[in-house]
Structures are given as structure tokens and as C-alpha cells.
Chain A
Amino acid sequence: MTVTGQDIADYVDRVRAALADLPPAVRDELTEDLPEHLTEVAAEADGSLVDRLGEPEAYAAELRAAAGAGDPAAGGRGLDRRIAAARHRVRARLSGLDARLGPLLGYASASEFLRLLRPAWWVLRGYLAAALLSAILGGDLTLLPRPFRSEVTGLLVLIAAVLTSIWLGRNADRLRRWPRRLMHAGALVLVVFGLVLLVNLDERSQRDEFGYQGVSVGDRYDSVQDVYVYDSEGRLVENARLFDQNGVPIRLGYPWCVDPAQPDAALRTGYPFCPELAPFRSRPPATAPVPPGTNGGRAPAGTPAPSGGSVPTAAATPTAVPSATVTPAPTGTVPEPSPTR
């Protein structure tokens, strides 16, 4: 068996690896002409280098001892060595985990599966970069990046960022050391930003749900306490009643201004409950007589004094009311308004 140059190079490499804890200068000096020496040893007789010289690690140990170089576990270099050993262990464990997780995903190793996801990461990276850019350029944290609050600009930035990210991903192998480190740092920033964006959008979507409830139909008239109906002449209609298209009475507000001493006032069915609190004053009676025959059935003159709450109701009869904008359906189910006072 002849020893090839590759055998010698391998042997030298293993010796150097076993001396890795020494300062580089010392190690280089120790193994400087080892290849030449091994070439002579190899030319001496048949048999492999290991047969003749023993394992490279043993050779290295002998070399180290004879040369009086530091003991492997001595001093600060021992710490370096331990760090290197720990790193080696972590790496071995990670690769073991990689191989074990692979079958769960249906692949030989987890890293093989993750490699397939790389283009997806490039697209996501482009999106996150666009979102970050728009956030910096005065946009809000929105699902669609909107720099300067413009959707068109946002779309253009998004497309450009995604294409750039894909290009970068395809050409990352050519990057030198520092640009590559910069890229990794940027990725870290984008991942953190992405989490912030996610939490922000999630919170906002929950807030929107409550917002819909706030404007939902059931609550829209919460703030209505009373209803005031004015006829075409601008006069307040007393005792008006509201019905929907099915003849169901619409109940809004409550008689909050009614004197508790007169409980029957609370039973009043018409609006307004509190005519004395009308937001607009009725027109003065001077203008009232001008359109006498418009609808025929307007309230008798002299009634629209709004301040005197008791006056109109006392005179009111069912036929006197129809000038109200909402006229009660004259069906039998509607109780006849009875004078309350």
C-alpha cells in the first residue's frame, strides 16, 4: 500500500486539529515541515502512516510533550478548549434534533424541510421590509403598507421590496462576510418588527369588534330621552305616537321629567313626554292663521302655546291631532287618547 499525498495531508490535518488549542504561531511552527517529514517516512517502507506512526492524535500528543508545548488542559487555553468542546456538543445535539424532527415533518431532516420554505421567507421578508419602511415614512401600522398614507405608493413599495428580497435571497451566497452579517441582523430586526405588527393588528381587530357593537342598531337610540314632533307649520305636536310599518308602537325614551307626585303622567303614551323641554319654540300664533285650510284638520288656534303644558292636552280630541307628521293608524287596536288632565 502506497501512501498518497492526500493521506499525508489528511494526517497532517488531524495532527493540527489535535493541536488546535495551541496558539496558531506555536502550532504552525510545530507542524511546519511535517508534510515533508511524513513524505520521507512514507518513502521508507510500505504500510500506512497510521501503521508506522500511530494515530495522528497520539502523534500530536507525543509531539506536544517532546516540544514542551502547553498541556492540553492548561490555563486559559483550557477554557478555550472547553468552549470549543461545548460548542461542538451543542452542534452535535442540534444536528441530532434536526434528524429526529425530520420524520415528523415527513422529511429526512428538519433543515431539509426548512430549506424548502426559504422562498416563502424571502416573500415575507420583503413584506415586512415594506411595512417597516412605510411605518418609518409616517404611515400607520396597517396590514397594507401605506407610506404617506397612500395605497398606491404602498403597493409599489410592497412589490419592489418583495422582488428585492427574492433577488437577495437567490444571491445571498455571493455576499461577503460583512454584508451577510448585515443581512442576518436585518432579518432579526424584521422578525421583531413583524411580531410587533402582528400584535398591533390583532389588538386593533379586537377593538373593531367592540366598535361594531357600539354602532349596532339596538343601541343607536340609547341617548334618545324624548321625541318632539313638529308639524309642517313648525308647531309642536302634542301627544304624538310613533308606529313602525307593522303597526307596532315605537317606544323611545322615558318620562323622566314627570313629577313623581302624579304617577298617571308616566302612563302617557304620546310624545313628547316633556313638552316644556322642546328644543324649538313653536311659531307665534300670529302666523298660524295664514294657512287655515291646508290639511283641514289642524289643531284649533290658540292651542300651540308650548309653555302651557296642560292646555293642549285638555282640548285635544282624536280628530284634532291628525296634523302630526306621524298619524296614528285609526285601527281599533289603538286606544283612544284620553285627556290626562
Chain B
Amino acid sequence: MDTTQLLKGVLDLAVLAVLREEDGYGYDILRRLRDAGLEEVGDASVYGTLRRLFAAGLLTTYVVPSESGPHRKYYALNAAGRDQLARSGKTWRSFATTMDALLDDRGMAA
């Protein structure tokens, strides 16, 4: 099954999740997602998702001047973002449990 199709549905949640522990800038967030195992995540998709979450009021941004490279725009979860993360996380867990049970019942689990 194509992971990119699945990613479309959960990318918001994934991005919120990697920002839970530590603020990050665009490229940093992308790297964290890939390090976590979402290798197929698209550069522009992450970038666009960050923009959309920010526009939706779930993220705050601040610019950190960099000595070595360009200035970086950091994204951080705000209260609404944390709230959204909690709700979406619950939804995902319930959904994943349902899917697991579905797959187990039919004896198709690995």
C-alpha cells in the first residue's frame, strides 16, 4: 500500500507530534519526520502543512538569527496546537486499534 496516501491523512498529526517536545524550523522538522521513519514524506508537503497549521492558529513562529547560515523560522505548538494534538492523537489511536482488530480478526496480521 502506498504510504504517501496514508501520510496525507496523518501528516498534520505527525507534524504536531514532532513539535511536542521541541520547537523546530522547516528543514529540521522534515529531518525529524524522516528520522522517525516517514522517509517518503514530501518536502513541500511538510512545508505546506506547517503553513496551514500556522494559519489555523495551532502554531506560533519566531525567527532565530543564525551565525552560520540563513535566519531560521522556528515553529512552536501553542495551547490550541497542544489541544489539537491531544484530540487528533486520540482519534488516531482509536482508529489504529480498530484497524489492528480488523486485521487480526481476519487473520491477516503479520
Q: Which residues of A contact B (CB under 8 A)?
A: 29-30, 32-37, 39-41, 43, 52-53, 59-60, 62-69
- Closest CB of chain B to A133's CB: distance in Å? 60
B71 within 8 Å of A (CB atoms) = yes
Q: A37-B26, A37-B27, A40-B27 are in contact. Are A66 and B69 (CB under 8 A)?
A: no
Please indicate the chain B residues that have their CB under 8 angstroms from the CB of A65 in the complex.
45, 48
Question: A66 contacts which of B26, B46, B73 (Cβ < 8 Å)?
Answer: B46
Per the bound structure, the CA–CA distance linking A32 and B11 in Å amounts to 21
Count: A-B pairs, CB below 8 Å: 68
Please indicate the chain B residues that have their CB under 8 angstroms from the CB of A32 in the complex.
73
Please indicate the chain A residues that have their CB under 8 angstroms from the CB of B71 in the complex.
36
- Closest CB of chain B to A2's CB: distance in Å? 15
Please indicate the chain B residues that have their CB under 8 angstroms from the CB of A37 in the complex.
26-27, 43, 47
Query: A62 contacts B51, CB within 8 Å?
Result: no
Candidate in B47, B49, B52, B71 with the most chain A CB atoms within 10 angstroms: B47
Candidate in A33, A41, A65 with the most chain B CB atoms within 10 angstroms: A33
Question: B44 contacts which of A29, A36, A60 (Cβ < 8 Å)?
Answer: A60
Per the bound structure, the CA–CA distance linking A53 and B72 in Å amounts to 20
B9 within 8 Å of A (CB atoms) = no
Please indicate the chain B residues that have their CB under 8 angstroms from the CB of A35 in the complex.
70
DSSP majority for the B interface?
helix
Report the count of interface residues on B (CB-CB < 8 A).
Answer: 19
Q: Which 10 A-B pairs have the closest CB atoms?
A: A66-B48, A67-B48, A62-B44, A36-B70, A40-B27, A63-B44, A66-B45, A63-B48, A67-B51, A59-B44
Report the nearest B residue to A68, measured CB to CB: B52
B57 within 8 Å of A (CB atoms) = no
- Closest CB of chain A to B61's CB: distance in Å? 10
Chain A to chain B contacts (Cβ below 8 Å), 28 pairs: A29-B55, A33-B26, A33-B70, A33-B73, A34-B47, A35-B70, A36-B70, A36-B71, A37-B27, A37-B47, A39-B69, A39-B70, A52-B43, A53-B43, A53-B44, A59-B44, A60-B44, A62-B42, A62-B45, A62-B48, A63-B44, A63-B45, A63-B51, A66-B42, A66-B51, A67-B52, A67-B55, A69-B48
Report the nearest B residue to A58, measured CB to CB: B44
Per the bound structure, the CA–CA distance linking A59 and B43 in Å amounts to 8
Given A34-B47, A67-B52, A68-B48, 10 additional A-B pairs, CB 8 A:
A36-B71, A37-B27, A39-B70, A62-B44, A62-B45, A63-B45, A64-B48, A65-B45, A65-B48, A66-B44
